Amino acid sequence: MKSLLQYGVHVLNHLRKDLRIEWRSRDAINGMLFFALLVVVVFGLTFDPAGYPTTTRQISGGILWVALLFACITALNQSWTREQRNQVLEAQRMAPSPASALFLGKAIANMLFVLVVEAVLAPIFIVFFNLHALGNIWLLALILPLGTWALVVNGTFFAALGLRARNRELLLPLLLLPISLPALLAMVQATTGVLTADLDPIQITTWIKQLVGYDIIFTTICILFFETVLNAE
Amino acid sequence: MEQRTPTLRNVAWLWFAISVAVLVVGFREAIFLVPTDAAQGDVGRIFYYHVPIAMWSLLFPYLNFAASLAYLYWRNRNPLKALTADAFALASAEVAVVYTSITLITGSIWGRAAWGIWWAWDARLTSLLLLWLLYVSYLMLRRFSSTGQTQTLAAVLSVFAAVDVPIVYMSIRWWRTQHPAPVFGGGPNSGMDPSMLPAFFWNLAGWGIWGIFILLFRFALERRRQLADQEAALQAIEASLEIPQ
């Protein structure tokens, strides 16, 4: 019990550090936000969403997640680079705190950044795409965080995995996308189901359950293998 | 450098000859002897290549996963054994990609003839495509990651991929299904006409023997590369120890 509490304190310390660094620069959030906005605008120009409300409802779940996914990738690439400056990462490897606490702290920090981006982006998205959801919109408050965690937990892990690779920026999407595809399928289906009200509520619940299962499984193996990856040499 | 014994070489040649012989028999059975399919015509003959290769393509990812786990287990306990496991993991991942690619291509050709389209986003097709993507990304990681780390990182990714495969399978199946029902155990009308069995089993055996042959050949090649690396590293250390005159 005491060791669990201590672990929590370590995670919290890492989280505080990451939040403080981000607060001082605000690079990740600003970059992600503008990038996601650009993707939404590009899709808006290609599809004329205001003219075809039914089609818009069918495709906008996918567009929202694609925009967030690409924005996540741009920010996640940077999240470990910060630790490389001045050999901070080497110091972290020697620190007495467990390696997975470092990982969890950073994953939670990234999660918070993406949630901020979502909170700003969602109203803009609704206005630009003239969206009028037909289903239970409050379900999105469950789907968005679950889907975001699925992207962020694996993304943070693979960003650390590719840290010393050649072509680091290219490697992250190459690894993250194939692993995330089932989660992406679940979150897009659930979101589209809520927007169009075409899906049975039972089906939406099943997609959400799959998402929860995916989150639990991959969070566990990320925590199990992070130390191996951090000290892979 | 490890010497290849003449016995090993003879066994390898024998294995190769057997695989070619079995494939020749399988070709004769599938193309000339099996009666033409009543519903599909000659197009149906691709079945004897598509299905056996698809069945084998599902085996190699398991080998890759097992070898990766063995690597992670031996990494700090017995580095030389770990290297062997890693060579096996690499070889099986490459063979897995080759076999899944052939399955996707032959399936696509059949789909064009039977369904009129090259590709459909159906359950089985999509899950096999995702399997192919996972193992291509595994090979990409091996290519891009820096030397010294490659084996560990690749083994970890292999575990992720292996965990992902059943999730992909379940979620895609839940998503949609259009592929013909499984030939074996797919319901009361599944199973094959007895006239099709010889062609099917000859090809199943032939592609299995052939797959194991290229797997072991690639494994031996990778082992030789690893040993050459070790030799070069040893020579570099020895050279650095010599006192300059």
Q: What are the C-alpha distances in Å from B93 to residues A100, A167, B45, B52, B132?
A: 28, 22, 28, 18, 10
> What pLDDT does residue B3 have?
57
**DSSP-assigned letters across all residues of A38-92:** HHHHHHHHHH-TTT-HHHHHHHHHHHHHHHHHHHHHHHHHHHTHHHHGGGHHHHH
Q: 0.90 cut: is pTM over it?
A: no
B20-65 pLDDT tens trace: 999 999 889 888 888 877 777 788 888 888 989 999 998 999 999 9
Query: How close A127 gets to chain B, by Cα (Å)?
Result: 30
The fraction of chain A above a pLDDT of 90, given in percent, is 33
Locate B84 and state its tokens.
């062997």
The fraction of chain B above a pLDDT of 90, given in percent, is 45
Radius of gyration of chain A (CA): 18
Q: Is A134 on the interface with B (CB under 8 A)?
A: no
Cross-chain Cβ contact A165/B145 below 8 Å? yes
Cross-chain Cβ contact B145/A228 below 8 Å? no
Q: Is A202 on the interface with B (CB under 8 A)?
A: no
Partner A, chain B 81-100, Cβ-Cβ below 8 Å: none
CA nearest neighbour of A218 among B151, B145, B134, B159: B159
Q: Is A84 on the interface with B (CB under 8 A)?
A: no
Classify A134 as helix, strand or coil. coil
Minimum mean pLDDT range among A23-27, A48-52, A106-110: A48-52
B4-17 pLDDT tens trace: 678 888 888 999 99
Query: Which of A167, A170, A179 is closest, CB to CB, to B164?
Result: A179
Query: How close A207 gets to chain B, by Cα (Å)?
Result: 9
B167-222 pLDDT tens trace: 888 887 777 654 555 555 555 555 677 778 888 899 999 999 999 999 999 999 99
Cross-chain Cβ contact B172/A182 below 8 Å? yes
Cross-chain Cβ contact A171/B140 below 8 Å? yes
Neighbours of B77 (CB within 10 A): 8
Tell me phi and psi for residue B41, to 5 degrees.
75, -155
Cross-chain Cβ contact A182/B164 below 8 Å? yes
Residue B171 near residue A210, CB atoms below 8 Å: yes
The 10 Å CB-count burial string (b at 16+, else e) for A114-153 is beebbeebeeebeebbebebebeeebbeebbbbbbbbbbb
> Span A83-101, mean pLDDT?
86
- The domain tally of chain A equals 1
Residue from B127, B145, B158 to probe the interface with A (highest A Cβ count within 10 Å): B145
> Span A74-88, mean pLDDT?
85
> Span A16-22, mean pLDDT?
90
Q: Is A210 on the interface with B (CB under 8 A)?
A: yes
Question: What is the rounded CA–CA span in Å between residue B223 and residue B217?
Answer: 10
Cross-chain Cβ contact A162/B144 below 8 Å? yes
Reported ipTM: 0.87
Domain region containing A181: 2-230
